[in-house]
Amino acid sequence: MLLDRSERLTPADHQTHRHYTFSVPEGCTWLEIRVRYAPKFLSAAESRKLVEASVHAQSASLARSVGSDLGERWAADFDHADLIVPNLLTVALDDATGAYRGAGHRHAEDQHLRLGVDSASPGLIAGPIPAGLWTLTLSAHTIVSDQCDVEIQIGAETATSAPASSRSSA
């Protein structure tokens, strides 16, 4: 295991970035990245309260710019909306040379990403996996719950650790 980290984020972490470094060994052929967080969604009641407050503030701002009639008509679109508000975390990866190796901008609260020499999960860039210090950036785009628990695990497969079947197909 190259990185095994647990964090608790709060609304104070909304729209922030955390950087986690991990050391990739010589001869690495694959990186396995797993990022999980919970909760994904606020409850329906909490979501409704947050949406109502946001719509009220935004419609007041809109009314100041374009008039109250248009602001009120815009806000009316949300009167019966059943919106469930999510937390949203994404990851980006930079290798030991400082090269950007892609991002996993997915909405899933349990993400499995794989990066190898010849292939990679969508959003990541396959290619050589240089040994050294890599960086995973966790971006907290939206934190709406009182707390959001995050787990990050990164593992590696090297030419000497891979099962024979994996080495022959890689």
What pLDDT is attached to residue 162?
55
Identify the pLDDT of residue 166. Answer: 40
80 vs 130, higher pLDDT: 130
The DSSP bridge partners found for residue 110 are 36
| Both structure tokens of 55 | 């719509």
76's enclosing H/E stretch is helix 68-76
In sequence order, the β-bridge partners of residue 18 are 138
Residue 19: pLDDT over 60? yes
CA separation for the pair 105, 165 (Å, rounded): 31
CATH architecture of the domain covering 3-41+86-169: Sandwich (2.60)
Stretch 63-77: mean pLDDT: 85
Asked whether the beta carbons of 90 and 106 are under 8 A apart, the reply is yes
User: Residue 67 to residues 71, 73, 74, 158: CA-CA distances in angstroms?
Assistant: 6, 10, 11, 63
Query: Parallel, antiparallel, or unpaired for β 110-116 and 3-9?
Result: unpaired
Task: Specify the pLDDT at position 168.
Answer: 35
Q: 135 and 94 in contact (C-beta within 8 Å)?
A: yes
Average pLDDT over residues 3-22: 97
Question: Residues 62-93, buried b or exposed e (16+ Cβ, 10 A)?
Answer: bbeeeeeeebeeebeeeeeeeeebbbbbbbbb
Residue 112 banded pLDDT, cuts 50, 70, 90:
very high
Residue 18 has pLDDT above 50, yes or no: yes
Domain range summary for the chain, segments of one domain joined by +: 3-41+86-169, 44-76
